[in-house]
Amino acid sequence: MRIKAEKYCIELTYLDSYSLSENDKVYFPENFEYEIPTKIKLSSFENSNIINSAIIGSFGGGTGIHDTSQIIENDRIIICCSESIFCLSIPELDLIWQTKTDSESCFEIYKVDNFYIIHGETMISRIDYNGNIIWQKGGKDIFTTQEGIDDFAINESHIFVKDWENNIYKFDYNGNEFE
């Protein structure tokens, strides 16, 4: 997937396996002993020239690359990778922060005002601009449905989510649950 970021282009590639080039920056958990389930390579380009590349990886469940798995801001990308959210600078791809927001997988990220809402497998989270967790909410089961459609939505006042058993949850942006 390629995404435009001002005068740069960011390319995201899901890696089943990988080999490092001498220029790759690597952001993996320290002292990992097991295979990391999700590895994503980010490459920054200006025109057609590569500027930097980085590989992020984390534990937990697998995470895909799709339209709502990352947010591009002026000078940074915030991206879901397994149980964590990574924030990297553009075009350098230096790690600014990493926050674990779920015990399994972070499916989607949305920007609302000056904060982010994370749709995770076991948690709905709100984090601030610097990656600090403001609140987290769990449910009776995982936050996806068997069909995987219409299980998460946000609007100007609340977050709507369904779990595996089709229980419906509504949270406002302060983490309060509605009936």
The CB-side HSE value for 173 (13 A sphere, CA atoms) comes to 14
In which band, very low, low, confident or very high, does the pLDDT at 61 lie, cut at 50, 70 and 90? confident
What's the pLDDT tens digit per position in 114-155? 999 999 999 999 999 999 999 999 999 999 998 888 899 999
* Distance between CA atoms of residues 132 and 34, nearest Å: 27
Beta bridge pairs of residue 52: 44
pLDDT single digits (tens) 24-57: 999 988 766 677 888 999 999 999 999 999 999 9
Domain ranges for the chain, please list them: 2-136
Confidence (pLDDT) at 66: 94
pLDDT for the residue 120: 96
Output the pLDDT for position 33: 66
Q: For residue 171, is pLDDT > 90?
A: yes
CA proximity to 60, closest of 80, 31, 30, 77: 80
For the chain, the first-to-last Cα distance in angstroms comes to 39
Pick the CATH number of 2-136 from 3.90.550.10, 2.60.40.1730, 3.40.1280.10, 2.40.10.480: 2.40.10.480
pLDDT of 19 > 90? The answer is no
Q: Are 90 and 75 in contact (CB under 8 A)?
A: yes
Residue 69 CA: distances (Å) to CA of 3, 34, 168: 12, 24, 22
What pLDDT is recorded for position 44?
96
Residue pair 135/154 in contact by the 8 Å Cβ criterion: no
Residue 12, pLDDT score: 96
pLDDT tens, position by position, 89-103: 999 999 999 999 999
| Structure tokens given for 90 | 């553009």
